[in-house]
Amino acid sequence: MKVEDGSTLSRADCRAKGGPPGFKMAIVGAAGGIGQPLAMLMKMNPLVSVLHLYDVVNAPGVTADISHMDTGCCGKLQLESALTGIDLVIILAGVLRKPGMTRDDLFNINAGIVRTICEGIAKACPKAIVNLISNPVNFTIPIAAEVFKKGDTCDPKQLLGVTMLDVVRENTFVVILGLDPREVDVPVVGGHAEVDVPVVKPPCSFTKEETEYLTNRIQNGGTEVVEATVGAGSATLSMAYTAVKFAYACLRGLREDAGVVECTFVASEVTELPFFATKVRLGRSGAKEIYQLGPLNEKIRLEKAKTELAASIQKGVSFIKK
Ligand SMILES: NC(=O)c1ccc[n+]([C@@H]2O[C@H](COP(=O)([O-])OP(=O)(O)OC[C@H]3O[C@@H](n4cnc5c(N)ncnc54)[C@H](O)[C@@H]3O)[C@@H](O)[C@H]2O)c1
């Protein structure tokens, strides 16, 4: 397998020679804390035949390193060539909050980065499924959706906000409560982080204390990791693991496997909000079927989450329209 860092290599050269046909994937923000382990894990996935790694720093270094794993991979120096012909794009690009930076500063920088990348997607791979991980997902999804609307080439159901870390944490914390995650169904709905709501589905039920414990731990999961690293890091490995799980579900959807269902933050009519995280059945072009909420045990918390989500969505939309 040849590895290149220019634009002369053809797509055929990037195919894993002799390997089974698979899907073409790009990771944008691939040299960061999540991007590197994610790139390594995706490189091992048999459903991926082409993996483009793009970043504004150190993409050639990560590509060179990953290329010594004996499956196909290309690094791309230009965003457009990294995205051309791609089936699944994972967006991790952004900056983390630094001392002296306000939340608004952070929002404006990351919003601008996501806008640029989505403009590239609308041009180079308008049919690709997009897994958007860059935070704050409750803002960045409406931003990406507005960009796609302007281009008029993408289907809103292709755009999936990755809220699955909340579900992964919930499964973990359910075990801590002494329960078997295979026997409980607790979709995490609403939005991401502070506005997610774990919702217990019948026939399972939790006590008030168990529900309180689960909700608090999931909503503060990110802070728990930052505090454990004494501010030196954030959730990267658990997020890379989650991103792989979610990407694999999307690849299976692309392959049209039956019954691939995950929670994601997506354009939705389940509530009065234009975007909402719920269970979704994945298919060839992203969210194929969006499941209704059904009976809920967490109505009050959900109403509060919706109020906060509405403000986030409005802020994201205004960023593009201003
Ligand atoms: N959705 C979730 O559950 C969840 C969980 C954890 C982290 N995150 C978010 O994921 C993102 C990545 O986190 P990380 O820890 O890997 O951060 P990081 O700072 O280590 O990596 C981000 C990478 O993006 C790159 N980048 C910046 N601008 C770019 C651009 N214009 N084009 C391409 N690449 C660009 C940077 O060079 C860097 O390598 C952050 O926004 C973080 O908040 C989301």
Same domain, 157 and 182: no
Residue 175: inside a domain: yes
The pick from 56, 114, 163, 192 for probing ligand 1's pocket by mutation, whose C-beta has the most ligand atoms within 8 angstroms, reads 56
Atom of ligand 1 nearest to the CA of 31: 39
Residues with CB under 6 A from ligand 1: 28-29, 31-35, 54-57, 92-96, 113, 116, 133-135, 137, 162, 165, 192, 234-236, 239
Q: What is the CATH number of the domain that holds 139?
A: 3.40.50.720
Residue spans of the chain under pLDDT 70: 1-21, 72-76, 193-196, 198-204, 297-298
Residue 3: inside a domain: no
How many domains are contained in the chain? Answer: 2
Q: What is the pTM of this model?
A: 0.91
Number of neighbours of residue 22 by Cβ within 10 angstroms: 21
Q: Which residues are catalytic?
A: 192
Residue 154: predicted pLDDT: 83
Residue 74: predicted pLDDT: 62
Q: Is 91 annotated as a binding residue?
A: no
Residue 18: predicted pLDDT: 46
Q: Is 220 annotated as a binding residue?
A: no
Same domain, 168 and 155: no
Residue 16: predicted pLDDT: 40
- Ligand 1 centre and the CA of 113: distance in Å? 10
Residue 183: predicted pLDDT: 76
Residue 5: inside a domain: no
Residue 4: inside a domain: no
Domain range enclosing 29: 11-161
Same domain, 132 and 196: no
* pLDDT tens digits along 129-155: 999 999 889 999 999 999 999 887 888
Residue 200: predicted pLDDT: 59
Q: Is 135 annotated as a binding residue?
A: yes
Same domain, 130 and 207: no
The pick from 27, 28, 53, 55 for probing ligand 1's pocket by mutation, whose C-beta has the most ligand atoms within 8 angstroms, reads 55
Same domain, 155 and 22: yes
- Ligand 1 centre and the CA of 199: distance in Å? 29
Final residue of a structural domain among 98, 131, 161: 161
Same domain, 212 and 242: yes
**Phi and psi at residue 196, in whole multiples of 5°?**
-95, 155
Final residue of a structural domain among 161, 191, 218: 161
Q: Is 239 annotated as a binding residue?
A: yes
Final residue of a structural domain among 161, 193, 225: 161
Atom of ligand 1 nearest to the CA of 132: 1
